Structure 1
Amino acid sequence: MTKPDGIILAGGLATRMGGGDKGLLPLGDGTLLSQVIDRLAPQVGAMALNANGDPSRFAELGLPVVPDSIDGFAGPLAGVLAGLDWAAAQGATHVVSVAADTPFFPRDLVDQLTQAAHDAHAPIALAATLDPERGPMRQPTFGLWDVSLRDDLRAAIGDGLRKVVQWTERHGAAQAVFAPDPFDPFFNVNTPQDLTRAQSLLESAP
C-alpha cells in the first residue's frame, strides 16, 4: 500500500488551556503543531489540518485547512470525517489521523497501524498504549481509516454518535500497541503544566 494521507486533528476547544489554538503555543524551536507536523510528515503522503474558524491563522504552516462538515462541536469523529472526505478527494484510499496536541507520538505509527490493519483484514486500526497494569489503552484519535467508510461515519454522526470507539467497534477495528519508552508516546498537552512537561521531555530527548 502506498503511504496514506495524514490529517492533524486541531478542532478541539482547549478549555483546560484557556481556549484558543493549543497547537500554536510555543514548544522547542517552533510550536506544538510544528512538532506534530515534523513527526508526521515522513510517515504520510499529503497532509492537512482539521480546524474550524478562520484558516488564515495557520497560514505559515503551509497546509490545507479542512473544517468540520458537521454543524456544532461533534468531537473528534467530525475531524476524522473531514479527513476522510479530504483524502478521498485527493484520490487516497486511507488517511491517518493524529492529535495536534500530542508531540511525541511514535515515528513508526503509520507503519504499525498499516501492519495491524493488514494482519486483521480490517478497514480501521487504532493505536494503543501498553499499560503494565491495565493492558492496552486505546488512543482513538490516532488511527488508520479506509476512506470507503466516510458515508457510514457521516450517517452515524448524523444519528448522534460521538464516541470514536463505539463506531470503530462496529467495523472490527484492529489495534497497534505501543510500549511506553520511556514515557507514554501519546502524552498530550491539555494544561499549562503539560506544556512545561513537554518542553522538558523535548529538551531531554536524545
Structure 2
Amino acid sequence: MVIVGVILAGGRSSRLGGGDKGLRSIGGRPILARIVERLTPQVEGVLLNANGDPERFAMLGLEVVPDSVPDLPGPLAGVLAGLERAAALGADAVLTVPCDAPFLPLDLGQRLEAAGRFAVVEGGDGRLHPTFGLWPVDRRTALREAVAGGARRIGKWMAEAGAVVVRFDDEAGFFNVNAAADLAAAEAIAVRLD
C-alpha cells in the first residue's frame, strides 16, 4: 500500500496566541522539522496542509496543500485536502499527524497499517487522538459530502465511518503543543528523547 504523510497545519493556533505552531522551536529546531524527520521514513512522501502564504514553510521543502473547502472548517478539511492530493499522486492512503506533535511514534504508520486501511489512535489513557490516523483515499467523496454537510469533529466522523481504534501506550508520542506552558514541557521531553 502506498501511503503519503499529511501534516495538518491549517488551524489558527488561537490557544498559543496565533501564528504557526509548527514553526515554534523546541530544542532549537522547529516543531515541523521534528515531525518531518519522524514521519518521512514511515511514508512514500509528505504533504503539509496549511492555508495562507506557503512560502513561510519553504525551508521544509514540502508541497503545501491548502484546504479545498472555504472558511477553515477544521482538521477534517485538511484531511480532505490531503486525500484529494494523495489520490492525484496515485497513493492508496494518507497517514495524518498534527503540526504540534513533535514526538510522534516512529512506528505509527506501521501499526496503523497493520490494523487496517482506516484507523485512528487511542492513547494509553483511553483518549482518542483523531488527528493521528490512516485514511484510505477512497473515503474522500464521503468525507467531502460530510464536510459540506457541516461535519467538523474528526473523531466523531471517524467513529461513525468505522475506523479501527489502535491503542498506543506511548503518551509522549501524542504530546501536543497547544499553549505556552506546553512549550516548556516539550523542551523537557526533547532533552529526554534527543
In the superposition, the TM-score normalised over structure 1's length comes to: 0.91
Deviations 1:65-121 (CA, angstroms, capped at 9, x unpaired): 00001100211100000110010011001110000100111110001100111xxxx
Higher Cα Rg, which structure:
1
1:150 aligns with 2:140: yes
Q: Distance in 2 between matches of 1:11 and 1:195?
A: 20
Q: Distance in 1 between matches of 2:121 and 2:159?
A: 14
Q: Distance in 2 between matches of 1:71 and 1:171?
A: 23
Identical aligned residues as a percent: 47
1:139 aligns with 2:133: no
Counterpart contact for 1:188–1:194, Cα < 8 Å = yes
Aligned to 1:90: 89
Deviations 1:24-78 (CA, angstroms, capped at 9, x unpaired): 1112242011011111011011111000000011111100000001100211100
What SS is found at the alignment partner of 1:130?
coil
Deviation larger for 62-71 or 21-30:
21-30
| Gap regions ≥5 residues in structure 2 | none
Aligned to 1:126: 120
Deviation larger for 163-172 or 146-155:
163-172
Spell out structure 1 runs of 4+ moving beyond 6 A: none
Query: What letter is aligned with 2:190?
Result: L
Deviations 1:132-186 (CA, angstroms, capped at 9, x unpaired): xxxx211100000000110110011000111112221232110111013xx4421
Q: Distance in 1 between matches of 2:148 and 2:41?
A: 34
In the superposition, the TM-score normalised over structure 2's length comes to: 0.96
What SS is found at the alignment partner of 2:106?
coil
User: How many residue pairs are counted as aligned between the two chains?
Assistant: 194
Give the aligned CA root-mean-square deviation in angstroms. 1.2
| Gap regions ≥5 residues in structure 1 | 118-122
